[in-house]
Amino acid sequence: MGVCEYYDVGAFKTLPLIFPHVMGADLRRYHQEARLARFEFMHAPTREWGCWTLDHWLLSRLAWNPAQDVDSLVDRFCRAYYPNAAAAMREHFRQLERASANILALQMSVGVYGTNAGGRLTHPVPIFPLRHLQLRETHPPTNDGPDLDEIEHAMIEARAALEQAKTLA
């Protein structure tokens, strides 16, 4: 069996999203699957990776040892790449990951895969049909994910941490 992952592209259209803990869980699961013979990571740009630098660096470490602690790896990455701003960059990546956590549900509801504006006029449907993705913060007992308010707040916090890191660099 082979796996080809598109963590950074495809439906996400090169948005600045990161998935450290998803990648960690995926690589551990793939490693435990005895039949896995091949793993490919698609669409690595050749330069200007931005926040994807973390995903690529992390994937290269987890591919060799998927049992590693993702938080420790992120910390190591931040200390190596941003020695004067490691704490601010850890916070930036933490908030960016939080904002990325429910992105597929958001796209399926209102994004590139959601009903287009014309379709909503002729066949009205709720904009937020999923229990784990609402406009305002909610916490259902199961299947909880960041709601739009939480995603927006995480992006604001990610931007603030990035701006702080710039002053420290």
For tokens 């973390």, what's the residue? 54
Per-residue pLDDT reduced to its tens digit, 26-39:
888 888 876 666 67
Greatest Cα-to-Cα distance within the chain, rounded to the nearest angstrom: 54
Assigned token pair, 87: 């704490």
pLDDT of res. 122: 56
For the chain, what is the mean pLDDT? 82
